[in-house]
Amino acid sequence: MRRHSLIISAFYVCAALFAAHRPAQAQTRVNGVLAIPADDAAFDGDDEGDATVKGNVRSPGGQMARQLQRAIQSGLVPLPFSHVRGQEHQGDREGDVALNVQVNDPALDKVVTFDPAVVRTRPFEFSTQSETSVVSSGQDITVGYNSSAGAVVEFFPGMGLFFTQLMFSGFSTSHDGGRTWASGFVPPVSPDAPFTFGDPSLAMDRRGNIYYASLGTDAAGNSALIINKSTDKGRTFGAASVVALDDGSDKEWLAIGPDPGVRGRDNLYVTWTSFTRTGSELHLARSIDGGQTWSTKRLFAPTDDGLNSSFIQFSNPVVDASNGRLYVPFLHFSDIDADNVRVLVSDDGGQSFRFLAFNVPGALDAFGFPNVTPGVLNDCGGGGIRNTLHQGPSVGPGRNIGLPNFRYIQATRLITQPATVAAGGRLLIALNSSTSPFFDDTSAGSEINVLFSKDGGNSWAPPLRVAASTPSDPQHVHPAISLSPDASTAFVAYYAQQANEQLRTDVATLSVGKRLRLDGVQGLSDKAFDLTPSNIPFPSPTNPFRTTNYDRTIVSCYDIGEYLSIAAGRSDDDEEGPVAAWGDNRNTWTGPPGSAAPFTHAQPDVFFTRLEDDN
């Protein structure tokens, strides 16, 4: 096996460490108050000054929010009106909800420019929506997603440009099965700290309450995992509350299910990655009172043994409602080509855990399932060296790290998150996998595989390939999975990249019994779409490899996000088919004069569909 510890240690997670522990960004003190000027040096992707607030492995938003909070509390920066609800808008397919409908309200996107005689800066193009999480009950559907449209930037004479609001945790809700949608942003913990940073994870309890977990701050501007609750089917969300404070937190994920000992009670579980200076750890927060109070614990803190690294990421907890068993799958990065999927399991409501065994021949140990993440290394400027899908020609080599890497303007980052579902003792894990045993194999395709256990992880069937790499569709990435309440049918949604390098979304339907069987594949998106210009060369005198996203609040190489979502019905007698939501670039955006991309190009939005019910 070819070693790629250089990639892991120097680039794959360096963005996380750099963002979580970087020196203070470009700062100024006005009357003793610390603030951040939103000038080009700070907001255009420079390694030393990138203040983009979404899209790194660990977003630097917490640090920026703390500094802005001090300015706001001092009265230096006045608070704007905090928009938490948008207007209802019609989908683009009014008559048939089985077809594609845009979820996010395009009227919320905006361009903000400033008089060059007052301040010289390129436009702010707040128009990115992607990375979805969906919950559904009959005709009521709520989709959470990342959105830059909730940002507010202002100029203050004598002081400069400031973000006075960053509301990245967007949502849209429909109560007519997806025909019409209302869009907005979940409220922060306090109106005095109008900052949320996305990474949405939504779940619903048995009473129909919807919970929205994301990244944000507490009332003082400290980095936090936060959660909002809706008691009216997603029409409104209450103010966020703090799950946990953690300056190194990233990729929180929410699961809700019955406590194994108190079957009438639903427990809330949030897992996340906590980055340190030398690695990352898996943490858990649990609430047994509907999110009012939380207890937290560290679940796993790896050390580098030369084969397994000291980094984990992308946990995805699920609860089997039939017995209350909690599964916490996650990715453990290795120092060789294949990383390892691991699964912790708890039968006492998250109080104690044990690892499930995969017993794969040739694996580093019995408790890891080896998987090579697909993609080609791309120099993403301030976003680091990342493996990506790309479109169009390379504009040249990137920073020399001793391995092949390129610079593609149209690129979107790839990860391996073990998408997982459990019901009736059955456990399924969907993975995107390279067709090569070598990481960063430029000739490799990618496929979607599903791991299946019929007995709660005690034994495993051979992986089932549900999407294969072919000359017409070489790449398949970012799977999401859902299981029908009776655990008889699974649905796996994913992105497919075509030979022409455009993307679309598909869904595979699986029969789940003693064995797993692929029944068929159909399209989710009814149009293929281009990637956005997310990695535009933007050199500076000190950094010839600096790049920028056309939407300057979003880090380079962030486009469709790192996950999509699919949800089946909540009950066996639910007559509605499964619903899905995904980041989709079929719409176009025209960059204004002064933009890094002053032309018409693809724009990231969120689209929805409902699969036809075959019953």
For 334, 343, 368, 545, the CA distances from 355, given in Å and listed in that order, are 17, 6, 9, 42
- Quick count: other Cβ atoms within 10 Å of Cβ 191? 14
DSSP 203-219: EE-TT--EEEEEEEE-T
Residue 57's pLDDT is what? 29
Tokens of 2: 């070819």
Convert the pLDDT of each residue in 102-146 to its tens digit: 999 999 999 999 999 888 899 999 999 999 999 999 999 999 999
Contact assessment for residue 247 and residue 58, using Cβ atoms and an 8 Å cutoff: no
Residue 574's pLDDT is what? 54
Convert the pLDDT of each residue in 255-300 to its tens digit: 999 999 999 999 999 999 999 999 999 999 999 999 999 999 999 9
105 residue type, one letter = D
- Nearest alpha carbon to residue 350 among 458, 269, 456: 269
Q: Of all residues in the chain, what percent are helix, strand and coil, respectively (each to 5)?
A: 5, 45, 50
Pairing state between β 160-167 and 195-196? parallel
Distance between CA 610 and CA 99 in Å, rounded? 7
Tell the burial category of 488 from Cβ atoms under 10 Å away from its Cβ (0-12, 13-18, 19+).
middle
Residue 420's pLDDT is what? 98
- Nearest alpha carbon to residue 457 among 564, 579, 355, 305: 355
Its CATH class, for the domain covering 98-610, is: mainly beta
Tokens of 168: 């990245």
Residue 584's pLDDT is what? 98
Residue 331's pLDDT is what? 97
DSSP letter, residue 63: H
Distance between CA 221 and CA 73 in Å, rounded? 10
Contact assessment for residue 607 and residue 99, using Cβ atoms and an 8 Å cutoff: no
Q: Give the N- to C-terminal CA distance of the chain in Å, as an integer.
A: 48
- Phi (first) and psi of residue 123, to 5 degrees: -65, 155
- Per DSSP, the three-state class of 146 is strand
Residue 441's pLDDT is what? 94
For 465, 479, 503, the CA distances from 435, given in Å and listed in that order, are 11, 16, 19
pTM score, whole prediction:
0.90
User: Cβ contacts of residue 457 below 8 Å, gap of 6+?
Assistant: 327, 343, 345, 356, 427
Residue 42's pLDDT is what? 31
Q: Which residue has 């996000």 as its token pair? A: 561
| Domain range annotation of the chain | 98-610
The list of the chain residues with pLDDT below 50 reads: 1-37, 39-67, 69, 72, 81-86, 91-96, 615
- Per DSSP, the three-state class of 306 is coil
Q: Tell me the residue ranges of DSSP E strands in 31-128.
A: 33-35, 85-90, 101-102, 110-112, 124-126
H or E segment and range at residue 68:
helix 61-74
